Amino acid sequence: MRHLLLAFFLCIGLLLSAACPASAWEGKWQVDSFNGVDYVHLSDVWKFYGFSPKQGKPGCVSFGAGNRVVSVRPSKQDFYVNNFRYILSYPVLQSNGRLYISAIDMSKLVDPVLRPRLSKSGRITTVVLDPGHGGHDAGAVSPYAREKDCNLALALKVRDKLKKAGFKVVMTRDRDFFLTLGDRVAIANRTPESIFVSIHHNSGRSAASGIETFTLAPHGTTSPFARTRRTEDLAGNNQDSENIALATAVHSYSIKKTNAIDRGIQRARFSVLCTIKRPAILFEGGFVTNPQEGAKIASSAYQNLLAQCICDGILRYTFNTRPTSAPVRHSGSGSTRAGTTAGTPRAGFSRSSDGAIITYPSRYSK
Q: Which residues of the chain form contacts with Zn ion (CB under 5 A)?
A: 132, 139, 200
132 or 348, CB closer to Zn ion?
132
Cβ at position 125, least distance to Zn ion in Å: 27
d(CA 44, CA 219): 24
d(CA 241, CA 249): 13
49 or 196, CB closer to Zn ion?
196
Nearest to 310 by CA among 154, 140, 181, 175: 154
The residue of the chain with the least Cβ separation from Zn ion equals 200
* Pairing outcome for strands 98-102 and 93-95: antiparallel
d(CA 330, CA 311): 31
Cβ at position 214, least distance to Zn ion in Å: 11
d(CA 29, CA 10): 33
Cβ at position 146, least distance to Zn ion in Å: 11
Cβ at position 59, least distance to Zn ion in Å: 32
88 or 216, CB closer to Zn ion?
216
Burial of 1 (0-12, 13-18, 19+ CB in 10 A): exposed
d(CA 9, CA 205): 38
Q: Is 35 left (phi over 0), alpha (psi -120 to 50) or beta?
A: left
Nearest to 20 by CA among 98, 81, 97, 86: 81
Angle at which helix 300-320 crosses helix 240-258, to 10 degrees, equals: 140
* Pairing outcome for strands 98-102 and 37-41: antiparallel
Cβ at position 49, least distance to Zn ion in Å: 36
Cβ at position 132, least distance to Zn ion in Å: 4
Cβ at position 261, least distance to Zn ion in Å: 18
